[in-house]
Amino acid sequence: MQTVRAYVGLGANLGDARATLTAAVHALGALPGVSLAGVSRLYATAPVEVTDQPEFHNAVVGLDVPPGPAGPGATGPIALLLALKSIERAFGRKERFRYGPRELDLDLLLFGEERIAVERPEEGRSLDPAKATRLLEVPHPEVGRRLFVLAPLADLAPDLVPPGWTESIGQARARRESIEGASAVRPIGRWDADSGAWAELDA
């Protein structure tokens, strides 16, 4: 079966974030027609925008997923987005203000070579004006601006140049690290495929 490589960002800073992200990796790998292609290191990251909250744990997962029809109405990315939102709800995700604390945050970062922008319905914006105006945009518009995304993504695909970009993921990580400082992201675990969990880096 033909597949497309997608990358999903994971984040959490409420409860046992490490255990939550571990379980989320397994939930992603268990989606119908999806196979786990790679798991980044686990990072402890400083919160951005709203800094008065616990530090986050962040990671990125590579998934091989069904492509769906291509083009502006591509169903593959939208189907994956809906699956991500379903997993978030299953893990107790509550709607809060933008950039606030999260039980679990799953973001579709990249979907093969697709470039898609799907507008959020007007009624969805009126419920929460802080929500982004786009329901889905890939590549995710925050990827190149957030070290907490670039660091784990660079673990899996440092040489990848996303559609519309002029630099690789690894180059973007180095650029953001020079701005935010290396201390903004701290690797705290490496994925052990045998145990299905992040092991300590010195283990």
Distance separating alpha carbons of residues 185 and 199, to the nearest angstrom:
17
The active-site residue out of 5, 18, 93, 120 is: 93
> DSSP 3-state assignment of 3?
coil
- For every residue of 56-120, DSSP letters joined together read EEEEEEEEEE---S-STT-HHHHHHHHHHHHHHHHTT----STT---S-EEEEEEETT--EEEEP
Amino acid at 57: H
Could you say which DSSP state residue 172 is in? H
The active-site residue out of 105, 146, 173, 176 is: 105
202 is catalytic: no
Give me 138's structure tokens. 């890939």
The active-site residue out of 41, 107, 173, 176 is: 107
192 is catalytic: no
The active-site residue out of 41, 102, 146, 173 is: 102
107 is catalytic: yes
Distance separating alpha carbons of residues 156 and 110, to the nearest angstrom:
12
128 is catalytic: no
> Which of these, 106, 111, 105, 165, lies nearest to 138 by C-alpha position?
111
Distances 165 to 89, 116, 176 between C-alpha atoms, Å: 32, 14, 15
Catalytic residues: 93, 102, 105, 107
